[in-house]
Amino acid sequence: MKLSKLYAITDRRLIHSSLAEDIEAAIRGGAGMIQLREKNITRDEYIRAAEEALEVCRRRGVPLIINDSIEVCAAVGADGVHLGQGDGDPKYARRLLGSGAIIGVTAKTTEQVKAACAAGADYIGTGAVFGTSTKADALPMDGETLTYLTSLSTVPVYAIGGINAGNINRLRGSGIYGAAVVSGIFAGDIEENARALRKAVEEL
Residue 176: partners with Cβ closer than 8 Å, 6 or more residues away: 146, 150, 157, 158, 159, 204
Query: Is pTM, for the whole model, over 0.85?
Result: yes
Residue 176 near residue 143 (C-beta atoms within 8 A): no
Question: pLDDT > 90: what percent of the chain?
Answer: 92
Domains of the chain in start order, with CATH, are 6-202 (3.20.20.70)
Length of the chain: 204
Which spans in 2-69 are helix H?
A: 19-29, 43-60
- Going through 21-114 in order, the beta strands assigned E by DSSP cover 33-36, 64-67, 80-83, 102-106
How far apart are the C-alpha atoms of 105 and 137, rounded to whole Å? 17
Centre a 10 Å sphere on the Cβ of residue 166 and count the other Cβ atoms it contains: 11
The DSSP letter of residue 139 is: P
**What pLDDT, on the 0 to 100 scale, is given for residue 139?**
75
Instruction: Please list the pLDDT of the chain residue by residue as tens digits (204 residues).
Output: 789 999 999 999 999 989 999 999 999 999 999 999 999 999 999 999 999 999 999 999 999 999 999 999 999 999 999 999 999 999 999 999 999 999 999 999 999 999 999 999 999 999 999 987 766 667 789 999 999 999 999 999 999 999 999 999 999 999 999 999 999 999 999 999 999 999 999 999
